[in-house]
Structure 1
Amino acid sequence: MTLIFMLLLAAVGLGVRLRQERENHRKAERRLLEFLATAGHELRTPLTAISGYVQLARLGGLADPENFDLAMSRMTDETRRTLALIDELVLLARLDLGQPLRRERVNLASLCRDAVADAEACSPHHPIQLTILPGNHTVTGDRDRLYQVIANLLANVRHHTPEGTRAALGLGTEDTHRVIEVMDDGPGIPAELRNSAFERFVHGEKARAPVVDNDAGGGNGLGLSVVAAIVTAHGGRVSLEPGSGGAWFRVRLPAA
């Protein structure tokens, strides 16, 4: 093989790599633009509601105390929803940029107990069975973010299944990983949404399918994507398991 032929092969290979890099860059730009456009739409919804109540007040439509209290309650809810959405957008941006999370020893058993107690306080009509198998349940990671993983999975049940739906949260060890499972006996996730369950701004039907999204803030389409991002940042994996009914989420995290 002559030197010229080898140089030609190298040039062809370099050209292919450059084209692939340009294509990957264009795809990343498209994803970013789509993400920004969708985020703007999601933020516009609660802000439009707040603006409407402000305008109504300016026109004297809230003079009645009952109407005023109702408007204040709705504005508080929409403000909380906006802040929750902003917090999750900031978290996703930090994780996308590779910014490090806190690293400390975390007892997952304690987090599971706290998350179940908080979830049942929010929705007593969604009973949760907690099963913690014997053994060591520590991992190394960010306690607050790992709590958010469990809380978001339980909130997913709360927001997308009818009252009376039962859920189960299990914690155990498998090989060198801690395993968290959240299951429910609700209607399950529609087949057309299963492959996109962990993508951002994917919405399921409220109080029917425990689907794609499931933020504690009321279903803005980021809940499961936040779960996936946090778990991945901890070197773990989250999956939607096949089942005959309901939803079954499985989180694997490296043991401490």
Structure 2
Amino acid sequence: MNSHFLPKVIKWTCFRTHSVYTSSQSWNLSRVRSSHSDSPQGAPSSDSEVKICNGVQNPVHEGLRVTIPTALTLTRVAAIPVLVTGWYWSSSWSTGLCTTVFIAAALTDWLDGYLARKLNQFSAFGAFLDPVADKLMVATVLILLSTQPIACGPLTGNHWLVPCATLAIIGREITMSALREWAAALGPKARGAVAVSSWGKWKTACQMISLTLLLSIREGGTGLLAVVGGVAGPILLCMACFLTLWSLYLYIRQLWPYMT
């Protein structure tokens, strides 16, 4: 009797296992279809993308992919230790190295966004990392410039200018990060109120150009570059500070109805 009973138990167990697996795969497939039916046609899902595996569609988290734009963003983060090393490197190449690394980082900031749109390669991880890489690079350069007074142009004798700009810019970025995190919990309208605006783009442009000029003249000099950088660098840095604080005021004004 046991010789007939054991095969029946094995057959029944295999049948139940196959049934549970099939039903779970059907349930996962229906979840993927329903989630994609809620999103606009052709728009990539922010939570998952559909992959074909053994004839079954399974959601795979999109943020785990390292796309070409994300790889460029990662190189921008990796360039920060190189820039810091070049800053403290006692060599005639030190200033040129720091300036070149910062210019390359600024170019990759534009290039990764262009490639993401051109190649249609978007990921949640890339969207998170891109602004973080920008802020880390800018904050690093501002802190380094604050540690070494620049005796060139209007900065001669006005060593307070760069440290004050550093406090204003870094303080604004910390405040904006807190505002965006708070707005994300309030809903789509509040998130839209703190979306990137044209003021923020102009602010970023002024920051990149001014910091490039200030890096190039950090050791002073009397040539044409020192004259142009010594005048244009501080002016653009002041413009960046103004746009930094002005854009913060505009964001707070848009979010004010949610605060009262």
With the length of structure 2 as denominator, give the TM-score of the two structures. 0.29
With the length of structure 1 as denominator, give the TM-score of the two structures. 0.29
Which is greater in Rg? 2
Greater fraction strand: 1
